[in-house]
Chains A and B, each alone.
Chain A
Amino acid sequence: MLKRERVVLASLAGLALVATAAFLGLNLRGDLAFALELRGVRLLALVLVAVAVAASTVTFQTVTANRILTPAIMGLDALYAFGQTALVFGLGAYGFASLDPRLKFAGESTLMLVMALALFLPLLRARMDVTLMLLSGVVLGVLFRSLSALLIRLVDPTAFAAIQGASFASFNAVRSDLLAIAGVVTILAVAAIWRARHALDVLALGADPATGLGLDWRRSAVGLLALTALLVAVSTALVGPVVFLGLFVVAVAERLVDTRRHAVLLPAAALVGVVILVGGQALLQHGLGGEGALGIVVEFLGGVVFLALLISEARR
């Protein structure tokens, strides 16, 4: 690891610690133990989301050998939301509500895994033009989002809040009942990705060079895509869809460490994610006095980064 990379990683870790401290400590009032526990749970959720989004985005970008692609831009989270509503639709609202949330999560994740592989493997194997792939991903995202909205209407015609709630991630109200299972899934998936970090370096060269270097490209791509899908399921289940967060986090991290080596980029992206989510939430909650808006702000910034990347890649 280069010195510069070590310095960047260390400073990011420091920033993440500061953000965590601010999140936990600012404006503590009333029953300390209770407040800390509440904040601790939310902190854990934010960290999980940050790590899951960062790792899944880096992995997805590498497998597809493109820096503008992220699972969310390709509609994966919309796919998850669609799976969710499809389950509601299939089971009926009552049957759905009476299910154990962990069982639901498992069901939704499996559904998403299958759909994601069914959708993206052919796309990847066809090695189609990246812009076409991106565009179809974005449109697929719109399709699944609209389908979910439509299904919600069909299940519960008076629903209004549900649709609105689904259109932006809420970092304020996280699903604490899923925290344990989400934590386990994230740790396992991230560990598997970390183990494959050298293989990821090779995959980033593209399918042909990776095969030439002895990697079974297809098998690696399937495995890594499955891990990506799991991580997206985790983050979407915890806070809802985040389209541009991953792109934003990874773009910033890559700028900072100036390398695509995964042994450096993965931790850097995760740390940037923690700094942005935890720090941003602390700032909005205590400094700027608005807690629900982080999702919107991040989407805005991420969208701008996306446009910038798009134009700069096109100019090359």
Chain B
Amino acid sequence: MIRIENVSLTRGGARILDDVSLTLPKGGLTALIGPNGAGKSSLLSLIARLQPLQTGRISVDGLPVDGTPGRALAKTLAVLRQDPGVASRLRVRELVGFGRFPHSRGRLTPEDEAVVAATLDQFDLTPLEERFVETLSGGQRQRALIAMTVAQATDYLLLDEPLNNLDMRYARDLMRRLRALADAGRTIVAVLHDVNQAAAYADRIVALRDGRQVAMGAPAEIMTPEILDAVFGYRMRVVDLEGRPMALHHL
């Protein structure tokens, strides 16, 4: 369970998050949606203790994120920011191997090697394992980074716009993999730009706007013209497509 209580954040005088409180139950895939500047990424990086908390409290699985030793938290929660631009010359296998760092401090045990191999396989990266990350295409790199995060084998996965740089096919592939991971018992929180991806794959959607939580609920509850208008500031049609709501946000 991720518990967020009265979290506010100001940066350079601007209010990024304004007294956000919400509780995300364990398990399932949660999508964070909202317009640019709503505070989605900031909220995610606060949960992942990538930024210090200014006010309020956040705990993941009962561990307060500002008081728990980094390593213990890293075995509970894995995070991937928007393309961190890996600067160093690494092979795909080495990169994914870093996911095991919290467990073995860099010296991979046979057990770690097995996890890495399985994760590479799971993300169709085995044929690429000896390639340098910098030689990969954007989509392949994104997959490798997500594989690293998954190899961390944590109960909680936080992903900031994981679909960035991915074409339609890989975006769909990734959402299906995330869905499978969630079905296997992991808790996933992802910032998503496309409400329809959220509607199709998420168990629940949290909508933010101007640093406040506007709505939270199952996709069917959120995907209404009224709520989407309240979130994004314009009216869009929502149609029913074989039992799934779909927003015609581009029309």
Residues of A within 8 A of B (CB): 62, 65-67, 197-199, 201-202, 204-209, 211-216, 254, 258-261
Across the interface, which residues of A come within 8 angstroms of B99, CB to CB? 213
Whole-angstrom distance from the CB of A122 to the nearest CB of chain B? 16
Residue tally, chain B, CB below 8 Å to A:
33
CA distance A209 to B102 in the complex (A): 12
Contact of B70 among A205, A214, A260 (CB under 8 A): A214
Whole-angstrom distance from the CB of B109 to the nearest CB of chain A? 13
Contact of B98 among A201, A207, A258, A259 (CB under 8 A): A201
Are A206 and B80 in touch, CB under 8 angstroms? no
Q: Say whether B85 faces chain A, with CB atoms less than 8 Å apart.
A: yes
Are A209 and B70 in touch, CB under 8 angstroms? no
Across the interface, which residues of A come within 8 angstroms of B73, CB to CB? 214
CA distance A87 to B41 in the complex (A): 48
Q: Considering the complex of A and B, which 6 residue pairs feature the smallest CB-CB distances, nearest first?
A: A198-B106, A214-B74, A260-B88, A204-B88, A214-B71, A214-B102
Are A212 and B74 in touch, CB under 8 angstroms? yes
Are B98 and A206 in touch, CB under 8 angstroms? no
6 example contacts (A-B, Cβ-Cβ < 8 A) are as follows A198-B106, A206-B87, A209-B98, A214-B102, A215-B101, A260-B89
Contact with A along B80-97 (1 / 0, CB 8 A): 110011111111001000
Given contact pairs A213-B74, A214-B70, A214-B71, A67 touches B87 in the complex (Cβ within 8 A): yes
Across the interface, which residues of A come within 8 angstroms of B85, CB to CB? 206
Across the interface, which residues of A come within 8 angstroms of B74, CB to CB? 212-215
CA distance A261 to B101 in the complex (A): 14
Are B48 and A212 in touch, CB under 8 angstroms? yes
CA distance A204 to B89 in the complex (A): 9
Contact of A198 among B49, B89, B105 (CB under 8 A): B105
Contact of A216 among B48, B70, B84 (CB under 8 A): B70
CA distance A103 to B68 in the complex (A): 41
Across the interface, which residues of B come within 8 angstroms of A206, CB to CB? 84-87
Are B101 and A198 in touch, CB under 8 angstroms? yes
Across the interface, which residues of A come within 8 angstroms of B49, CB to CB? 211
CA distance A113 to B84 in the complex (A): 30
CA distance A204 to B101 in the complex (A): 13
Contact of B152 among A211, A213, A216, A258 (CB under 8 A): A213
Are A201 and B71 in touch, CB under 8 angstroms? no
CA distance A197 to B78 in the complex (A): 22
Are A212 and B106 in touch, CB under 8 angstroms? no
Across the interface, which residues of B come within 8 angstroms of A260, CB to CB? 88-90
Whole-angstrom distance from the CB of A255 to the nearest CB of chain B? 10
CA distance A66 to B107 in the complex (A): 24
Q: Say whether B79 faces chain A, with CB atoms less than 8 Å apart.
A: yes
Q: Say whether B50 faces chain A, with CB atoms less than 8 Å apart.
A: yes
Across the interface, which residues of B come within 8 angstroms of A201, CB to CB? 94, 98, 101, 106
Contact of A205 among B48, B69, B86 (CB under 8 A): B86
Are A212 and B78 in touch, CB under 8 angstroms? yes
Residue among A67, A197, A206, A212 with max Cβ neighbours from chain B (10 Å): A212
CA distance A259 to B80 in the complex (A): 23
Are A208 and B106 in touch, CB under 8 angstroms? no
CA distance A198 to B101 in the complex (A): 8
Residue among A62, A209, A215, A216 with max Cβ neighbours from chain B (10 Å): A209
Given contact pairs A212-B50, A213-B152, A260-B89, A202 touches B84 in the complex (Cβ within 8 A): no
Q: Say whether B237 faces chain A, with CB atoms less than 8 Å apart.
A: no
